[in-house]
Every structure is written in C-alpha cells, then in structure tokens.
Amino acid sequence: MNIITSKEQAARLARAVVSDVAIYNQEKVEKGIKNDNIFETLSEEIEEGRQHFYSRVAPELNPEQIFDLTLVDILIKRAGKIESPIW
C-alpha cells in the first residue's frame, strides 16, 4: 500500500476508519454516549483504527489532528440523537 500524501485522501480514509468503528460497535457507541465515556468504551477499537490510519498517512499531514477531528465529527456529532446527560 502506498502512503497517502494528500490531505483530502487522508480525511477520506479517516472517515472510513472511524465510520467502521461506529458501524461495527453501535451498541458500544450508544452506551458510551449515554454514560459520557465513549472514548474509554471504544478505546481498543479507536486505537486499532488510529494505528491503521497512521500507518497509511504521511506524518507531514499531521495525521493525529485529522484522525482526532474525525472522531469527534463521526462519533460525537452523529450521535446527537442518543439521549445523554452531556446534551
């Protein structure tokens, strides 16, 4: 596999990776949002996705920032319909 050097392609990969985490762990996402501990609840899955993403993206693109912003966009913003004491 080639290393991604385009910010757009990196963002696309981040969305795919985090979406997979969310889709394959829907119950954990809901539980994590309800209990305000989503990052702890999904820590293993997030770390696995993070390592895959970092292995595919050039370091100069700041993959940490891209991945972390995508986590919030997909895991938090899309879960707005789940009842939670945090909103």
Our count of domains for the chain comes to: 1
| Structure-block tokens of residue 13 | 């990969």
Q: Please check whether residue 84 lies inside any domain of the structure.
A: no
pLDDT at 79 exceeding the cut of 70: no
Give me the residues paired with residue 57 across strands.
4
Q: Please check whether residue 19 lies inside any domain of the structure.
A: yes
Give tens-digit pLDDT for 47-77.
Answer: 999 999 999 999 999 999 999 999 999 988 7
Q: How far apart are CA 43 and CA 60, in angstroms?
A: 25
Q: How far apart are CA 52 and CA 46, in angstroms?
A: 10
Is the model more confident about 5 or about 79?
Answer: 5
Q: Please check whether residue 87 lies inside any domain of the structure.
A: no
pLDDT at 86 exceeding the cut of 60: no
Query: How confident is residue 43, by pLDDT bands cut at 50, 70 and 90?
Result: very high
Q: Which domain holds residue 13?
A: 7-79
Q: Please check whether residue 86 lies inside any domain of the structure.
A: no
Q: Please check whether residue 37 lies inside any domain of the structure.
A: yes
pLDDT at 87 exceeding the cut of 80: no
- Round the average pLDDT of the chain to a whole number and report it: 91
CB of 14 within 8 A of CB of 53? yes
Q: How far apart are CA 18 and CA 70, in angstroms?
A: 7
Q: Please check whether residue 17 lies inside any domain of the structure.
A: yes
Give me the residues paired with residue 4 across strands.
57
Q: Please check whether residue 85 lies inside any domain of the structure.
A: no
